[in-house]
Each structure stands twice: as structure tokens, then as C-alpha cells.
Amino acid sequence: MWNTTREESLKALNTTLKDEEDLIYEGFEIIEEITQKLSGISNSSSFSRVCGLVLIKGRNLCQGLFGLVLEGLAQESGALLRPTIECFELLEYFYQDPKRIEKALKGKLPSAGKIAQKIKGKFKDLRNHLNVHASHLSIAPESMVHLINWNEGSFKIKQVYSESVLKTNLSTLFCFLFFLCTSAAKCLDECNLLSDTIIHRINKWRQKGLQIVKPTLVSKENIRNETFHDS
């Protein structure tokens, strides 16, 4: 059942895509550091506990995205991308008004769409696209085109390795790791635990990413606009 795509992807991460590998792993490390700080607050508040759990969920979803990208199954990973977006938008929603945590504890949060409207989210079109072509089964071209070998006019039963595709998908993964990281850092700031060290690390990682990633629909302009200020 397993093909060599993951093996080829891992080989590229250790050679030609080593910079991309380092970028992705550093993103996970920063997110885990923020999670540890949220979970380590003595007499932790409802705010820190809920934000910490949302962040862990987002981190796990990103790991799932990473695994599918390495397998050449990025199209199928769209089913995970939509809740990943919801994670960092929910963290932003809590940061903008910490009292909203009470709605979460009572199970009365608005829908993901209404949360996005409240925070002036930028991913409505992408969420709608994922809802139609990734979160649910669809036979539309956007959902099925990658399953056809157009040169031979046959089905593509297994997804073959492509370094250019992997590079693009890693770029996109970096973008969403970044959005999750910055939303989480804002929540850490609300707890008065956002240190200059973390701010500097996030900004350095962001600058490195802008030099490495290929331009994508969600990447450079949005990332440039999300900057923390070193004190």
C-alpha cells in the first residue's frame, strides 16, 4: 500500500529542502514553548487553560498536515486545514475579549463563521473552498484533478513525489504555523508572559521564513503584517 513518496520527501528534507525542514521544525518548537508557558502558569486561569488546549489542538492538526504533505496527500489534508484555521481564529477571538472564554466554558461559542466576522478574519474564501472541496466529498474538478494522469489519460492511483510540490506545500504549512504561533503569542501576552526572548524568536523565524518560502496565496503579505515589536 505504501509508496516511496514519504521516503523521497524525508530525503529532500535532509538535503535540498533542509532550510524548509528547519523552518517547519522551529515553528513547532516555538508553539510548544508557548504551550508550556500557558500550561505552567501557577493558579492558571480559565483563559490560559482554554487557550492552551486550543493551541495543542492546532499544533496537532498542523502535525497531521505535515504528515500528509510528506505523503503527497496535500489535497486530502484540506480536511484538517479548515479546523486549523478555526484554532488560530478562536485564539484571536479570545485575545480580543478575554471574557469570551466564559462562552466557551458554557458551550455557547458562536459558529466559526461568526467568530471570523468578529475578528475580521481573512480566510472566508479559503474556508468556503475547503468546505466544498476538502471537508466533504466532492467530484468537482478542484477535488479530483490531482487523481488523474493527464499525459496518459489514466487514474493516478498513487501520488508520486514532486520536490516542487513539496516545497510549495511546506511554504503553505509554514504560513499556517505562523498564524497559529502569533495568535497564541497574543494570548500569552494577555497572561503577561510574552517575553522579549519569545518576541525576538518569532520575529527572527518570520524573517527567515520570508526569505525561504515560495510566494503562496496566504503567505508573504499577511506575514509581513503580523509583526511583534521587540522592546
- CA nearest neighbour of 23 among 189, 172, 228: 172
Cα 147 to its chain centre, rounded Å, is: 25
pLDDT at 39: 83
Q: What are phi and psi of 76, to 5 degrees?
A: -70, -20
CB contact set of 230 (below 8 Å; sequence gap of 6+): 196, 199, 200, 203
CB contact set of 42 (below 8 Å; sequence gap of 6+): none
Query: Burial level of 165, CB count in 10 A (0-12/13-18/19+)?
Result: middle
Give 90-130 as a 3 state SS string.
HHHHHHHCHHHHHHHHCCCCCCHHHHHHHCCCCCHHHHHHH
Three-state SS at 2: coil
pLDDT at 16: 97
Per-residue pLDDT of the chain (231 residues; tens, 9 = 90+): 566 899 999 999 999 999 999 999 999 999 999 999 988 765 568 999 999 999 999 999 999 999 999 998 887 788 898 999 999 999 999 999 999 999 999 999 999 999 999 999 888 887 777 776 656 555 565 555 655 665 666 566 677 789 999 999 999 999 999 999 999 999 999 999 899 999 999 999 999 998 888 655 454 555 555 544 443
Three-state SS at 49: helix
- CA nearest neighbour of 72 among 115, 157, 9: 9
Q: What are phi and psi of 148, to 5 degrees?
A: -120, 130
CB contact set of 46 (below 8 Å; sequence gap of 6+): 101, 102, 105
CB-CB contact of 31 with 181 (8 Å): yes
